[in-house]
Amino acid sequence: MYSSQSLSSFFSFLLLLPLLANAHTCTEDFLAEVKRINITQNCNLKTLQAEFAWNFNNVSRQLEIAFGAKLDTETGWLAWGLNPQAPRMVGTRALIGIKHLNGSLEVNKYNITAITKLGCPLSPADNIGLDVRNFSFEYLVNIRYHMIRATLLLPKEYNSSSVNVVWQIGKAATDRVPFMHPRSLKNFDSAEIIDLVSHQVISYKAHPRRRLRMVHGILNIVGWGTLLPVGVIVARYFKEFPREWTRWYVFHVSCQITGYSLGTIGWGFGLWLGAQSKYYSFQIHRILGIFIFTFATIQMMALRLQPRGSDEYRVYWNMYHHFLGYSILTLISINIFEGIKILEPMPHHVWKWTYIGLLGALGSVVLLLEACTWFKFLREKYSKGDPSEGKPSTNNQNAGQLSGGQASGASATVHSRPDDT
């Protein structure tokens, strides 16, 4: 009972982790730069490591902005804009600064339309529905930032207490045409709702999808990516070789059921998030997730539907069950990496290297137990004076267990019942 309570507390802590980060203050280096030009209000935007500062006069409706981020590629572009309709790309009135291969910088105004989303070239526009003055694009050498600066007169159609701010970073451009930005989640999520008067970023509370994505990832890594492999390890190595453990089956089934349940909940969150994402989708991640859930469900049905140990077809069922189970584990690892690549919640690939470390730990345990298994098997075989050259003794039940490289009845999702072995 205490172990179940500990697991519950651990999972609850993991689910609360995404709620702990809510910092919006810009970095000290960027703050020093905007204070130098007398811009006082600021927020650290949550994607693309971009930073935004502004001054707003609610009487004259004059908005002075400074938007900065790093452009690490030889060519690239930086975009900032306002959308009078919603916090999304289509409909945005954008100010874009372009960095050319020769190091020169250029600025232009653009209207982002639906055809832009389809991949049509984006051309400058003289009229974007905003009165833009003092428009510039510069490179801040001391902090290695490129920064867009401008002064805008905000039209009446823009609610100053709920302004849809959109930003973007691209890696390539030719002449005055910026190329499509990377199609990652952080690029699609580059929008906020900001109250220019009270200086509040209000979209963080209004859109829980970002936190649910974190929950989705944690549940799938813990359920599909950790508990299912642990259950397989227990079934393969603790039935008889290298160590016999009478309660291996109970622990194995508990891991598989718990892992399947957590993974299914995470998969359900993923379906909901996909349905809520009207402007983008990640088909590979979605399809792999559906395959994993479907075949894992089939594997779990073996708890009740597997043939008895005395059934003549049991050996063929074992072959199918093992192959499908290990294939599922492979798909799980691939899809977790695919999800991490999409999510990228933090710089320096923290989630990626954490999961690589987890796989490394599981792999090390498997290698150690496999070596111990063969060492014990060979020692017992030769201690009985078996004259055969590397062939298992017909009287040795353990040899039959290892001749096929599998523990008898072991699978990647469930294991045969003790009375069937």
| Residues in the chain where the model's pLDDT stays below 70 | 1-24, 119, 203-208, 241-244, 278-280, 307, 309, 344-348, 384-421
Given this model, what pLDDT does residue 396 score? 41
Distance CA 386, CA 388 (A): 6
Does residue 23 contact residue 51 with C-beta atoms inside 8 Å?
no
Kindly list the structural domains of the chain, giving each domain's residue range(s) and its CATH number in brackets, ordered by start.
Answer: 24-206 (2.60.40), 209-420 (1.20.120)
Distance CA 322, CA 398 (A): 19
Given this model, what pLDDT does residue 385 score? 59
Beta bridge partner(s), residue 43? 52
Burial classification of residue 222, based on how many CB atoms lie within 10 Å of its CB (0-12 exposed, 13-18 middle, 19 or more buried): buried
Is 146 among the annotated ligand-binding positions? no
Does the pTM surpass 0.95? The reply is no
Given this model, what pLDDT does residue 348 score? 56
Structure tokens at 289: 């997730």
Given this model, what pLDDT does residue 97 score? 93
Is 207 among the annotated ligand-binding positions? no
Which distant-in-sequence residues (6+ apart) come within 8 Å of 215 by Cβ? 15, 18, 266, 269
Q: How does DSSP classify residue 160?
A: T
Identity (one letter) of the amino acid at 98? I
Given this model, what pLDDT does residue 303 score? 73
Instruction: State pLDDT tens for residues 123-136.
Output: 888 889 899 999 99
Given this model, what pLDDT does residue 297 score? 92
Instruction: State pLDDT tens for residues 381-403.
Output: 787 655 444 444 444 444 333 33
